[in-house]
Amino acid sequence: MGSFFSRFKVFGIVLLIISAIIITLFYSALKPEVKLPIYQPADFNAELVDATLLHKKKYHTVADFKLTNQNGEIITQDNYANKIYVADFFFTTCQTICPVMTKNMAKVQEVIKDDEEVMLLSHSVTPEIDSVAQLKKYAIEKGVVDRKWNLVTGDRKEIYDLARKSYMAAKTDLNNPYSMVHTENFVLVDKEKRIRGTYDGTDPVEIEKLLEDIKILKASYVE
């Protein structure tokens, strides 16, 4: 009799495990796949968008660029080919939102530092101040890992155009041509150079959302 109940118990456990697996698979099959939107200039606040792009609703991608990083190296879109990356705009002498943004970008760096699929890109909005030497000093102070995170400087107009026409991450300074008031936004860019999300770089909750969205975006490339 004891042997019978023992066998029945084993059968019950096996049945329970099989049932749990079936339920899990069934739930996974029914669970909708989470996808990130693809943002177009028309989706952004008009203050952040160049007038020529205000009504663009499709096919927007980040423009090609050629800038110089903290090591004096030329950085182009080729350095980010087949990469997911997070972009922002800052300047090294900023005493308001930039230190918080840089601290939070460093947190993102810590999470993705061993992930070959993800990189970071920070553009100086005061290139006349942020020389290579200045960027290098700042990079060392902030713990920038060179292979993961480029701090770039270059031609003011090119940086302005990238901010306004590619990333929609800055307002125009009406008093100075090609000067800008950068936002706190971190911009998530996919491997096709499309914008997939924007996040408040000063908000810890938004940073967590960014990290989750990076996972979602990475999963979308898994066959």
How many residues are given for the chain?
Answer: 223
123 marked as binding residue? no
Burial class for 131, CB neighbours closer than 10 Å (0-12, 13-18, 19+): middle
98 marked as binding residue? yes
Q: Pairing relation of β-strands 195-200 and 185-189? A: antiparallel
Contacts of 132 (CB under 8 A, 6+ apart): 68, 69, 70, 71, 72, 153
186 touches 86 (CB < 8 A): yes
**Known binding site: residues?**
94, 98, 182
**Known binding site for Cu cation: residues?**
94, 98, 182
